[in-house]
Structure 1
Amino acid sequence: MDVEALLHSIPPLAVYLVVGAVVGVESLGVPLPGEIMLVSAALMSSHHDLAVNPVGVAVAAIIGAVIGDSIGYSIGRRFGMPLFDKLGQRFPKHFGPGHVMLAEKLFNRWGIRAVFFGRFIALLRIFAGPLAGALKMHYQRFLAANVSGAICWAGGTTALVYFAGMAAEKWLERFSWVALLIAVAVGGIAAILLRERTSRMIAELEAEHARKTGEAATDPV
């Protein structure tokens, strides 16, 4: 079975359910590739031969994001900051002290805006709900930022990828796939650079925390 036939064999409802589930579980606090799933589904919707609807993709992602974040908020409010200590011990690559400190720093700096803009930042996307609950953020304000952020992120991403995919499909009828591969490579490099910058910030926070902890331990009582 070739790729074209495989894509046609996937029911649109299955695409919407998978998008909503993956985005929802990621928003709950589990590090899953929600954004990649959204972009892939939106790209499928731009293919005129497939029955996947971009509105359905966006709505599924919005619902998943709102529900996932709300469940994550409830979990964070129930268990508080000790929850992140336990998660850090089991999943240090995603919930290590540096990750938590950076997310908490951004929350303290941006306040409720961290929930809105967190939808666009990989690190905050998995921390926003649980951390907002652990920090006892007012739920109505959290919900407003959660819903508006989900609509802008899911709707904006879907629309951007959908129209870009349609333009690329027409454009590639006249040109080669080389330009598309170059565009994908540029996007990948940008994502890697952003990830490296985040890693450096986390490393700096961990080093600063270790230095303060060491100083506190050596101070005379």
Structure 2
Amino acid sequence: MTLAAYTDVLSRRSDPPEGGLVGLVTDLVERLGGPGAGLAVALENLFPPIPSEVILPLAGFTASRGEMSLAGAIAWTTLGSVLGALALYYVGVALGRERIRAVAARLPLVKVADVDRTEAWFARHGGKAVFFGRMIPIFRSLISVPAGVERMPVGRFLLYTAAGSLIWNTLFVMAGYLLGENWQSVEGYAGAFQKVVIVACALAVGWFVVTRLARRRRARNAAEPRGTVYRTRRFRGGSRR
């Protein structure tokens, strides 16, 4: 897409995203085409504030103008997703289980047993978590870290990552391809989905904190009567002497 064409598209919007991260990714796609889209998606994995909801539809729009093939747009963005996820996988490998357990032991309301339960869950459902996680905002990047911590076999990790990323990327690239000059409208719908995910995460964290505090309070209340009886008996025994 030429600079003039991109400027013309932005001029049709009331609030065009001309600078910042969006400007960076659009410039990458404009200058490098498919490889630029792949690089932008790889960076999106490492720096989540870079919006895939802009990169992928823009790649589809560029393909609709004939400046890259539709298959090329999907292939390059999926390759970028896999490479970015692989980098985060090795971040998880570098962190390792022992460091994660040490951090958990220092966190308020968190127990090492919580880490053990999470590890057991990931051992059973890690493949599904990686596959479906690639299609959920926020988790798209984060899911690679526990996969690395748990040392999921690299081949298996790449298979599930590529499959999930291919579905997600194809959906958004096709949307940009079909919408043409209205490709930026995709961001609004994706943003609403991301807000739902954020609210769900906030509710889950809130529920965890409330239930953990309530459990701690019940344990404290259950322990107090025994301590009171013990102290009372000691006091009465002292009175008799």
Q: Which residue of 1 aligns with 2:61?
A: 44
Following superposition, the deviation at residue 47 of structure 1 comes to 4.9
- For the pair 1:33 / 2:50, whether they are aligned, the reply is yes
Q: Which residue of 2 aligns with 1:140?
A: 155
Following superposition, the deviation at residue 13 of structure 1 comes to 4.9
Q: Which residue of 2 aligns with 1:200?
A: 203
- For the pair 1:55 / 2:61, whether they are aligned, the reply is no
Residues 1:189 and 1:150: Cα distance change in structure 2 (over 3 Å): closer
- For the pair 1:6 / 2:7, whether they are aligned, the reply is yes
SS in 2 for 1:161: helix
Which of 72, 76, 92 is the matching residue for 1:76? 92
Q: Is residue 26–residue 33 contact of structure 1 (8 Å, CA) maintained in 2?
A: yes
Following superposition, the deviation at residue 129 of structure 1 comes to 1.3
SS in 1 for 2:146: helix
Following superposition, the deviation at residue 36 of structure 1 comes to 1.8
Using the size of structure 1 for normalisation, the TM-score is 0.64
Of the structure 1 ranges 206-215 and 126-135, higher mean CA displacement relative to structure 2 is found in: 206-215
Using the size of structure 2 for normalisation, the TM-score is 0.60
> Kindly, what percent of the aligned residue pairs are identical?
18
State the alpha-carbon separation in 1 of the partners of residues 135 and 88 from structure 2: 17
State the alpha-carbon separation in 2 of the partners of residues 113 and 12 from structure 1: 35
Following superposition, the deviation at residue 188 of structure 1 comes to 4.4
Residues 1:107 and 1:18: Cα distance change in structure 2 (over 3 Å): farther
Which letter does structure 2 place at the counterpart of 1:59?
A
Which runs of 5 or more residues in structure 1 are unaligned? 87-96, 170-179
Residues 1:200 and 1:12: Cα distance change in structure 2 (over 3 Å): same
Following superposition, the deviation at residue 21 of structure 1 comes to 2.5
Between Structure 1 and Structure 2, whose CA radius of gyration is higher?
Answer: 2
Residues 1:209 and 1:108: Cα distance change in structure 2 (over 3 Å): farther
Residues 1:217 and 1:69: Cα distance change in structure 2 (over 3 Å): farther
Q: CA RMSD in A?
A: 4.1
Q: Is residue 46–residue 166 contact of structure 1 (8 Å, CA) maintained in 2?
A: no
Residues 1:218 and 1:23: Cα distance change in structure 2 (over 3 Å): farther
State the alpha-carbon separation in 2 of the partners of residues 141 and 186 from structure 1: 31
Which runs of 5 or more residues in structure 2 are unaligned? 10-25, 104-109, 224-241
